[in-house]
Amino acid sequence: NAGVMQNPRHLVRRRGQEARLRCSPVKGHSHVYWYRQLPEEGLKFMVYLQKENIIDESGMPKERFSAEFPKEGPSILRIQQVVRGDSAAYFCASSPKTGGDTEAFFGQGTRLTVV
């Protein structure tokens, strides 16, 4: 019973390059959430997706960031033209349904370092 799988675990990119972060939710979960965590801070909501649909992207920067959750395959968080301020840990979570008191399961995260 695999949990949420994220890859890569660590990603180093030079300024201006693109970063692609992948998240495979728990089998059977159709709701995916991305969060960002800066050092010494709590996680901050970025985006909520269901299969093929973005439900809420209010926490995601308007430029350079995009997310998708295709019908087949993992959810992808894409950061174009990365800058040093994008360095953070990015966590994906999934749940079988949404709504209050629905437990979301988190992956181990992708630690992005922009040099």
Partner 1 sequence: GENVGLHLPTLSVQEGDNSIINCAYSNSASDYFIWYKQESGKGPQFIIDIRSNMDKRQGQRVTVLLNKTVKHLSLQIAATQPGDSAVYFCAENPRDSSYKLIFGSGTRLLVRP
Residues lying near partner 1 in the complex (CB under 8 A) are found at 4, 31, 33, 35, 37, 39-45, 48, 55-56, 89, 91, 95, 98-109, 111
Which CB atom, from 6 or from 80, has the smaller least distance to partner 1? 6
Which CB atom, from 77 or from 80, has the smaller least distance to partner 1? 77
C-alpha dihedral, 32 to 75 to 38 to 11, nearest 10°:
160
Q: How far is the CB of 89 from partner 1 (least distance, A)?
A: 6
Q: How far is the CB of 35 from partner 1 (least distance, A)?
A: 8
Omega before residue 8 within 30° of 0, cis: yes
Which CB atom, from 20 or from 111, has the smaller least distance to partner 1? 111
What does the alpha-carbon distance between residue 22 and residue 29 come to, in Å, rounded to a whole number? 15
Q: How far is the CB of 91 from partner 1 (least distance, A)?
A: 5
Tokens, residue 5: 């799988």
Residue 103 near residue 1, CB atoms below 8 Å: no
